């Protein structure tokens, strides 16, 4: 039986998400072991995570234009090859510099995989079906975060950490086969010209700002170089703001912020993702370095969050339909703040079962927030601007997660500086959890500005008849 367009896109994007999520969750668990092998600090090795996410953010703006120019299947298959090659180079890296360079190459490939698939889905799936599509699209790919921590823990405990990157080889081959079989080489007719100057300015701005923030106070680069990077970032960002007012088709269209639902998803969602983005970095460090548990045990505990996300996928659409986007986003920002701050209560004597259950429930609510944010963002965006909206949203999503890891590392460094030590102890993590939980609370202000009926057309929510809406829940 032939696959429909939406089925084909869902399968192929799920495959790409699986590879990306497996890779990201495995390396987070293995950081302490990799740091010891490469003779560097675990806090410095956060560059291996942020460099990948940063590379995603820089190259994602090109994804839409490249897909329209060369065709979705061509771009997707090329991206898988680049990502897999980057994985092999990560596995043979001998120092931090080589590992970071290989992760940047991985990010360049990843930047073309998921956004291209999501863009095709946004162009083909009716808006009334988008909530379910967003919820179930990533369900197979969530196996990656579930398998990643325990598999990564087992690999680095009983084999070499280098195998955590080599596992992408068979997945990459499978992705190539599925792309060839299921993805049409669709191209957009009458595509817009490439804003090359805007891309260069934005890439330089992000590079300068992110890497100056990453290296500040770490003694990785001279102070003058760090200040110079920051100045380059600020100047290029100012030049981009000037440039965007003089061009009809900017690579990053800031005019999209005029739509209330999109603006709230970008501003509030970015704050929320910065807080949540620190969690995969902080948890394995706390468990392994702070509490002294093995990488295998750490992985078996931290995969609970992804397991909670899987459970949420079956309930996201009905919950949003019953309550509406605005109440879900506001209440869930508070709930997630509680669960993020609650991690500060963990100690070496906290039972592993209690930690697992806490992370499981927290993962449920985090995933619900992501689903709501990723869907309501497009509620008001006209079909003609979907490509631009997807590009900006995807870029900021990855940039926020990258900043989350950087913020987590910075908070730990400040804690060590405050206590006058260079070694992490079991009680050095609680200030970081309180801080990232506060970011979730602050994000609530963006959601409160939304109109009460925000996204009702997409969710099917009727404020005056919530119980009636519940009768029409999707059987899925």
CB atoms within 10 A of CB 315: 14
Residue 16: which of 61, 46, 56 has the closest Cα?
56
Q: How far apart are CA 332 and CA 314, in angstroms?
A: 17
Higher pLDDT, 139 or 412: 412
pLDDT for residue 439: 92
Instruction: Say whether pLDDT at 52 is over 70.
Output: yes
What would the CATH number be for the domain defined by 5-183+251-470? 1.20.1250.20
Is the Cβ–Cβ distance between 171 and 22 less than 8 Å?
Answer: yes
- Residue 330, token pair as written in the block: 């506001």
Q: Which band of pLDDT confidence, cut at 50, 70 and 90, is reported for residue 468?
A: very low
pLDDT in tens, 274-323: 988 888 889 999 999 999 999 889 988 988 887 888 778 778 878 888 88
Report the range of poorest mean pLDDT among 80-89, 159-168, 416-425.
Answer: 416-425
Higher pLDDT, 391 or 281: 281
Instruction: Say whether pLDDT at 206 is over 90.
Output: no
Higher pLDDT, 193 or 473: 193
Higher pLDDT, 115 or 292: 292
Instruction: Say whether pLDDT at 96 is over 80.
Output: yes
Q: Which band of pLDDT confidence, cut at 50, 70 and 90, is reported for residue 448?
A: very high
**pLDDT-above-70 percentage for the chain:** 84
pLDDT for residue 98: 92
Higher pLDDT, 42 or 227: 227
pLDDT for residue 253: 85
Residue 49: which of 132, 167, 176, 148 has the closest Cα?
148
200, burial (CB in 10 Å: exposed 0-12, middle 13-18, buried 19+):
middle
pLDDT in tens, 153-169: 888 888 889 998 998 88
Higher pLDDT, 346 or 17: 346
Question: Considering the chain, what is the average pLDDT of its residues?
Answer: 82
The vertex-124 CA angle with 119 and 130, nearest 5°, equals 85
Higher pLDDT, 177 or 283: 283
pTM comes to 0.77
Domain boundaries, given as residue ranges, for the chain: 5-183+251-470, 201-250
């Amino acid at each position: 039986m032939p696959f429909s367009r939406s089925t084909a896109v869902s399968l192929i994007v799920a495959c790409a998400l699986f590879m990306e999520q497996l890779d990201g969750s495995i390396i987070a668990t293995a950081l302490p072991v990799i740091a010891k092998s490469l003779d560097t600090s675990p806090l410095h090795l956060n560059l291996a995570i942020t460099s990948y996410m940063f590379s995603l953010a820089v190259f994602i703006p090109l994804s839409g234009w490249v897909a329209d120019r060369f065709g979705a299947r061509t771009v997707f298959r090329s991206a898988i090859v680049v990502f897999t090659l980057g994985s092999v180079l990560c596995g043979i890296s001998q120092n931090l510099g080589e590992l970071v360079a290989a992760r940047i190459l991985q990010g360049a490939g990843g930047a073309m995989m998921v956004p291209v698939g999501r863009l095709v889905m946004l162009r083909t799936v009716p808006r009334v079906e988008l909530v379910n599509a967003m919820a179930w699209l990533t369900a197979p790919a969530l196996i990656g975060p579930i398998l990643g921590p325990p598999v990564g823990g087992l690999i680095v405990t009983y084999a070499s950490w280098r195998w955590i990157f080599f596992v992408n080889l068979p997945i990459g081959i499978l992705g190539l086969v599925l792309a060839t079989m299921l993805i049409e080489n669709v191209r957009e007719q009458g595509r817009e010209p490439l804003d090359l100057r805007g891309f260069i300015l934005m890439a330089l701005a992000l590079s300068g700002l992110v890497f100056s923030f990453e290296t500040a106070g770490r003694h990785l680069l001279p102070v003058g170089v760090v200040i110079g990077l920051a100045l380059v970032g600020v100047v290029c960002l100012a030049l981009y703001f000037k440039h965007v007012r003089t061009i009809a088709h900017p690579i990053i269209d800031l005019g999209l912020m005029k739509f209330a639902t999109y603006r709230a998803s970008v501003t509030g969602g970015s704050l929320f993702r910065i807080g949540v983005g620190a969690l995969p970095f902080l948890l394995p460090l706390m468990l392994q370095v702070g509490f002294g548990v093995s990488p295998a045990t750490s992985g078996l505990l931290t995969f609970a969050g992804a397991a909670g996300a899987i459970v949420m996928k079956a309930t996201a659409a009905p919950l949003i339909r019953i309550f509406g986007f605005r109440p879900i986003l506001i209440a869930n920002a508070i709930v997630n703040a509680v669960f993020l701050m609650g991690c500060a209560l963990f100690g070496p004597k906290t039972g592993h079962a209690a930690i697992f259950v806490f992370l499981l429930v927290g993962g449920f609510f985090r995933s619900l927030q992501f689903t709501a944010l990723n869907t309501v963002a497009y509620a008001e965006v006209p079909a003609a601007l979907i490509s631009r909206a997807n590009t900006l949203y995807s870029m900021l999503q990855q940039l926020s997660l990258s900043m989350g890891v950087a913020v987590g590392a910075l908070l730990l460094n400040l804690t060590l500086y405050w206590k006058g030590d260079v070694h992490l102890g079991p009680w050095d993590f609680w200030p970081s959890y309180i801080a990232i939980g506060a970011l979730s609370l602050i994000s609530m202000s963006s959601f409160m500005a939304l109109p009460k009926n925000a996204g009702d057309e997409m969710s099917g929510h009727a404020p005056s008849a919530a119980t009636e809406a519940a009768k029409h829940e999707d059987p899925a």
